[in-house]
Amino acid sequence: MEKRWSIKSEVDEAIVNRLAEELKIEKVLANLLVQREIKTYEEAKKFFRPSLSDLHDPFLMKDMDIAITRLEKAISAKEKILVFGDYDVDGTTAVSLVYSFLKSLPHSEGLVDYYIPDRYVEGYGISFLGIDFAKENNFSLIIALDCGIKAIDKVAYANERNIDFIICDHHRPGDTLPSAVAILDPKRSDCNYPFDELCGCGVGFKLVQAYAQKNNIAFESLFQYLDLTAISIASDLVPIVDENRALCYFGLQQINKEPRKGIKAILDLANIKKEVTMNELVFTVGPRINAAGRIETGRNAVALLVSENHADAKISGININTSNTERRVLDVSITQHALSMIDENKELINRKSTVLFHAEWHKGVIGIVASRLIEKYYRPTIILTESNGMATGSARSVKDFDVYDAIEACADLLEQFGGHKYAAGLSLKLENLAAFQQRFEEVVSATIQDHMLIPEIAIDAELNLTDITPKFFRILKQFEPFGPGNMSPVFMSTKLVDKGYVRIVGNNHLKMDIQQAETQKETFSSIAFSQAQHFDDVLRKKTFSACYAIEENEYNGNVSLQMNVKDMKME
């Protein structure tokens, strides 16, 4: 697929020069900081040395005081509390966090339980079945995590049964809020909390932080929950800035120093022996936790994450690993089926959106399939299957296009929808499917700009290979943890040539030893995934430009720098 390269706009050179001098670093590194809106020595210090003391006061969040008062009342009166959360990574980590904290409080035995809805029977979010479970088992307070902001009818149903709700969500609210006792959502228009990009687990952490703060519980006792928060932040793709950066930074420390038994079981089963970074959370830990809710039940994920002994954790881990293997098989087969549906229909090929439906597709993997399709057809994509007599599905978007707004423009055809700019869920009556496919295509065609339909590689800076020194990389590593809002820097170099060892590995990847043709001084081992089409040109010593990230590669105990080549263009 063709990619467009764009070098990030120039920043104020005077600020870059001053920052480079104050920090005693290369200008290209100072430039990276200014691109991230870090312009002073103090801001750089805060960026490179995150501190949990930088977390915002949780009581700045709208309704937090009300939520804590209601929670204190429940605990003192020995009410039964049900911790309710969605079945994905964000929901199950949030439930694990809040449930574990409440269970740790004195005299809480037998009063706290958790509930994860069945993806296939109940669907996303708060459910009538979940409320019925609460009523039948004498729960009078439900804490909903990573869901609930649009559950107006469900919360009203609970109120009729004398069950109170505290909602902890991070999705966009609708015009009307549910009649819950308290609604914690930094995206509320009337909420002045300083940071509105928390994940659902992050909002759960703020609830726990507020309770601890009000009840003189040492903040240090909350460190054990930072691992769950970091996994959720990484998996939910929220910006790694502000509070999220500090929570991730210390959450990774917790995972590498003293991982909870469930996470240790995942790392062992995945044979992860090196230091855990955001990469491992996104591509190894997160998918396994997610697989539980996709294939069986999200309760399995919570059981793993709250395991208190290694034997239970190992059993839960094996079950989840099996679910993840099954998820991969389904993912591949459904993706191939979906691609064939497009390839066999010229009208679908030429659209600016993809909306596909098949009644027998597995509901648990359609979000993944939507992302896979974007890898070939780069455009807003919705994959739908049949569930409980409805067309239910997941939407994924491309850079800079708000798929939530596009879905909202079709609201009259939908029964339910919710989500973010780049990912959303929706359900509609089967008879509205054709009309929705047409309307969504019309909305996307009218609002998307042509450049958004070509994947972009944003380049932070141009480098000579001689610029990549041990000191340079040592400072670059301190930019971690990487993620949205602080992506791993991508550099560009020109007039590159392979030293003579180019080869194809894994069927379609290029392994090279790259140097600049003019100097031939520095040589870097490089991997270019899915770019074997350049093999002949590279072998013939043609020069090329490349954009790449700089990484550490560990092999047989030896660690060396490696260029991860994102794209190549022959010169």
212 Cβ neighbours under 8 A, 6+ residues apart:
218, 219, 221, 222
Spatial CA neighbour of 418 closest among 181, 190, 194, 124: 124
The CA-CA-CA angle for residues 102, 106, 111, to 5°, reads: 55
Give the model's confidence band at 348: pLDDT under 50 very low, under 70 low, under 90 confident, else very high.
very high
Return the pLDDT at 119: 86
Burial, 225: exposed, middle or buried (Cβ in 10 Å; 0-12, 13-18, 19+)? buried
**What CA–CA distance (Å, rounded) separates 23 from 280?**
30
Distances (CA, A) of 260 to 223, 224, 478, 530: 12, 8, 25, 36
> What would the CATH number be for the domain defined by 457-570?
2.40.50.460
CA trace torsion 555, 558, 563, 564 (10° rounding): 30
Residue % of the chain over a pLDDT of 70: 100
Q: Residue 525: in which H helix or E strand, if any?
A: strand 524-528
* pLDDT at 549 > cutoff 90: yes
Give the model's confidence band at 442: pLDDT under 50 very low, under 70 low, under 90 confident, else very high.
very high
Q: Are 468 and 561 in contact (CB under 8 A)?
A: yes
Secondary structure of 472-503 in HEC code, one letter for each residue: HHHHHHCCCCCECCECCCCEEEEEEEECCCCE
pLDDT in tens, 276-332: 999 999 999 999 999 998 888 899 999 999 999 999 999 999 999 999 999 999 999
Q: Any alpha helices (H) in 282-309, and if so which ranges? A: 286-295, 299-305
Q: Decide: helix, strand or coil at residue 557.
A: coil
Residue for token pair 């081992």: 525
**What CA–CA distance (Å, rounded) separates 318 from 69?**
40
* For the chain, domain boundaries: 58-220, 345-453, 457-570
**What CA–CA distance (Å, rounded) separates 147 from 90?**
10
Q: Are 125 and 75 in contact (CB under 8 A)?
A: no
pLDDT in tens, 53-83: 999 999 999 999 999 999 999 999 999 999 9
pLDDT in tens, 446-476: 999 999 999 999 999 999 999 998 899 999 9
Tell me the mean pLDDT in the region 372-397. 95
Spatial CA neighbour of 228 closest among 279, 263, 274: 263
Label residue 423 left, alpha or beta by phi (over 0 means left) and psi (-120 to 50 means alpha).
Answer: beta
DSSP secondary structure of 244-270: HHHHHHHHHHHHHHS--HHHHHHHHHT
What is the distance of C-alpha 409 from the center of its chain? 25
Return the pLDDT at 155: 98
**What CA–CA distance (Å, rounded) separates 149 from 125?**
9
Q: Residue 562: in which H helix or E strand, if any?
A: strand 558-570
**What CA–CA distance (Å, rounded) separates 532 from 503?**
9
Angle, helix 226-236 to helix 286-295, in steps of 10 degrees: 80
Q: Report the relative pairing of strands 381-387 and 354-357 from DSSP bridges.
A: parallel
Q: Residue 153: in which H helix or E strand, if any?
A: helix 152-160
- The one-letter amino acid at 251: G
- The one-letter amino acid at 82: L
**What CA–CA distance (Å, rounded) separates 273 from 23?**
34
Give the model's confidence band at 554: pLDDT under 50 very low, under 70 low, under 90 confident, else very high.
confident
Return the pLDDT at 250: 97
The reply to whether 345-453 and 457-570 are identical in fold is no
Return the pLDDT at 437: 97
Work out the end-to-end distance of the chain between its first and last CA atoms, rounded to an integer number of angstroms: 18
DSSP-derived letter for residue 451 is G
Q: Are 384 and 372 in contact (CB under 8 A)?
A: no
CATH topology of domain 345-453: Diaminopimelate Epimerase; Chain A, domain 1 (3.10.310)
* pLDDT at 342 > cutoff 80: yes
**What CA–CA distance (Å, rounded) separates 488 from 476?**
9
* pLDDT at 102 > cutoff 80: yes
**What CA–CA distance (Å, rounded) separates 211 from 383?**
40
Residue % of the chain over a pLDDT of 90: 88
Spatial CA neighbour of 139 closest among 162, 157, 106, 122: 162
CATH for 58-220, options being 1.10.490.10, 3.90.1640.30, 3.40.630.10, 3.40.50.2300: 3.90.1640.30
Lowest mean pLDDT among 9-13, 144-148, 562-566: 9-13
**What CA–CA distance (Å, rounded) separates 74 from 275?**
41
* pLDDT at 555 > cutoff 80: no
pTM: 0.89
* pLDDT at 36 > cutoff 80: yes
pLDDT in tens, 400-421: 999 999 999 999 999 999 888 8
Distances (CA, A) of 528 to 456, 473, 483, 516: 17, 20, 21, 17
pLDDT in tens, 164-188: 999 999 999 989 999 999 999 999 9
Tell me the mean pLDDT in the region 490-505. 94
- The one-letter amino acid at 9: S
Q: Are 9 and 459 in contact (CB under 8 A)?
A: no
* pLDDT at 98 > cutoff 80: yes
Return the pLDDT at 121: 87
Return the pLDDT at 176: 95
Label residue 321 left, alpha or beta by phi (over 0 means left) and psi (-120 to 50 means alpha).
Answer: alpha
- Token code pair at residue 119: 């993806």
Spatial CA neighbour of 155 closest among 186, 126, 189: 126
Give the model's confidence band at 191: pLDDT under 50 very low, under 70 low, under 90 confident, else very high.
very high
Longest C-alpha distance within the chain, in Å?
A: 78
Return the pLDDT at 270: 92
**What CA–CA distance (Å, rounded) separates 458 from 487?**
10
**Torsion angles phi and psi, residue 49, rounded to 5:** -125, 70
Return the pLDDT at 201: 98
239 Cβ neighbours under 8 A, 6+ residues apart:
197, 483, 484, 485, 486
pLDDT in tens, 209-226: 999 999 999 999 999 999
**What CA–CA distance (Å, rounded) separates 480 from 550?**
13
Q: In terms of pLDDT, which residue wins out, 34 or 2? A: 34
**What CA–CA distance (Å, rounded) separates 305 from 299?**
10
CA within 13 Å, CB half, 167: 27
- Token code pair at residue 416: 């339910």
Spatial CA neighbour of 47 closest among 497, 457, 481, 493: 481
Spatial CA neighbour of 446 closest among 491, 396, 406: 406
